[in-house]
Amino acid sequence: MNSIRKLDWQEFFIPRLIKASGYSAILFVILIFFFLLRESLPTFGEVSLRQLFSERWYPIEARYGILPLITGSLLVTIGAMVIAVPFGIGTAVFISEIAPRWLREILKPLVELLGGLPSVVLGFLGILVLAPRLRILLDLPTGLTALAGSLLLGGIAVPTIVSIAEDALDAVPLAYREGAWAMGATRWQTIWRVTLPAARSGVLTAVMLGIGRAIGETMTVMMVTGNAPVLATRLDSLFRPVRTMTATIAAEMGEVANASTHYHVLFFIGMVLFLISLAVNLAASSIVFKAKKRAERVLS
């Protein structure tokens, strides 16, 4: 009797608890969104759109052009992805498909350990080792450039991508590979035409999370990109200093007067960041969704 009552009690509460924690993620995102909206909306009353999308960011003289910050963030993130995606997926393929068992058991934990490296430490490495060498190697005026940021952010994103992509590859049933081999496919053909496409949604998730990690990273980029708010639209911008949105918020939020125009604009920048990661997520999940539908058609 007693134990049945206990079971009832559990039956009642535990599913609801799980449900609540599931919904809470949505709730938090919505709350954060409304908070950002509330703090950033006054921007439109205080700064004209033309000024907001101009090219000069100098908040202490009331110049709030955020274009240099947006281009700076995009440039550093795209650069990081160009490095991290092939490298990350390649590493994941190697660990999952090629490496012998004993090596895999060393490599995977090592990569995950790399992911736990504090970004400040990477920033120090960037300032003391990477930036001076970049300057000498490429004969640049200074090594504190978008490229330094991209290289380090790439390094930060790689463990995320490797870890998740490797899980996805690992989850592809062995029968798929055996089928390919039976048809006379080489190892490379199997990886490229069978295993990777089958793990596509997981690999895409890995890339997405990697982008999220890179665009949201603050400390490292603040230390190595030089933080000069220059519009980064030319090809050689990669070899010049840039200022990212995250570094701007981190550097300026601490000193800004509450509810001032500068404060509202900083929240607006936060809003732009939020919208960019939302767009990346939506784009990625729509690709995954389409791919799934196609796969279902093929199977049926």
Partner 1 sequence: MACSGPSQQEESPSQASAYIENKGSDTMVNLALAWAEAYQAVHPEVSISVTGGGSGTGIAALINGTVDIANASRQIKDEEMAAAEANGVEPVEFVVARDAIAIIVHPDNPVSQLTLQQISDIYTGVINNWAEVGGEDRPIVRLSRETNSGTHVYFLETVIRLGDKESDLLFSMDTLLLPSSEGIINEIRQNPNAIGYDGLGYVPRDLKVIAVARQEGGRYVRPSIASVNDGSYPIARDLYMYTAGEPQGAVREYLDWILYSPEAHDIVAELGFVPILHYNP
Q: How far is the CB of 134 from partner 1 (least distance, A)?
A: 11
Q: Please tell me the distance from the alpha carbon of residue 268 to that of residue 264, in angstroms, as a whole number.
A: 6
Q: Is 59 in the site for partner 1 (CB under 8 A)?
A: yes
156 CB neighbour count, 10 Å cutoff: 22
Pattern 15-54, partner 1, x by CB under 8 A: ----------------------------------------
Q: Does 222 bind partner 1 (CB under 8 A)?
A: yes
Under the binding rule (CB under 8 A), the answer on residue 141 touching partner 1 is yes
Contact 149, 84 (CB under 8 A): no
- Least distance in Å: CB of 187 to partner 1? 46
Q: Are 265 and 64 in contact (CB under 8 A)?
A: yes
Among 174, 184, 255, 297, binds partner 1 (CB under 8 A): 255
Neighbours of 41 (CB within 10 A): 13
| Choice between 253 and 287, CB closer to partner 1 | 253
Q: Is 144 in the site for partner 1 (CB under 8 A)?
A: yes
Length of the chain in terms of residues written = 300
295 near partner 1 (CB under 8 A): no
Interaction between residue 230 and partner 1 (CB under 8 A): yes
Determine if 185 is a binding residue for partner 1 (CB under 8 A). Answer: no
Instruction: Pick from 142, 201, 281, 285 the residue near partner 1 by CB under 8 A.
Output: 142
Sign, CA dihedral 25-31-36-37, equals positive
Q: CA 267 to CA 269: how far, in whole Å?
A: 5
> Which 3 state secondary structure label does DSSP give 185?
coil
- The minimum distance between CB 251 and partner 1, in angstroms, equals 5
Residue 227 within binding range of partner 1, rule CB under 8 A:
yes
Q: Which is nearer to partner 1, 104 or 135 (CB)?
A: 135
Closer CB to partner 1, 63 or 104, in the complex:
63
Residue among 235, 241, 230 at smallest CA distance from 69: 230
Dihedral of alpha carbons 66, 69, 71, 74, sign: negative
**From 42, 90, 132, 197, residue interacting with partner 1 (rule: CB under 8 A):** 132
Interface size with partner 1, residues (CB under 8 A)? 31
228 binds partner 1 (CB under 8 A): yes
Which position among 107, 127, 272, 288 is part of the footprint of partner 1 (CB under 8 A)?
Answer: 127
Q: Which amino acid is at 57?
A: W
| 184 touches partner 1 by CB under 8 A | no
Question: What are the distances in angstroms from CA 17 to CA 3, 24, 28, 101?
Answer: 20, 10, 16, 39
If one asks whether residue 220 binds partner 1 (CB under 8 A), the answer comes out as no
Token pair of 95 as six digits: 């660990």
Residue nearer to partner 1 on the CB measure, 56 or 200: 56
- H or E stretch at 267: helix 261-299
Partners of 57 in the β-ladder: 64
Determine the Cα–Cα distance for residues 280 and 43; give it in Å rounded to an integer.
25
Tell me how far, at minimum, the Cβ of 82 lies from partner 1, in Å.
24
Measured in whole angstroms, how far is the alpha carbon of residue 187 from the centre of its chain?
Answer: 31
252 is an interface residue for partner 1 by CB under 8 A: yes
Residue in the block written with tokens 């380090």: 152
Tell me which residues touch partner 1 (CB under 8 A). 55-56, 58-61, 68, 127-128, 131-132, 135, 141-144, 222-223, 226-230, 240-241, 243, 251-252, 254-256
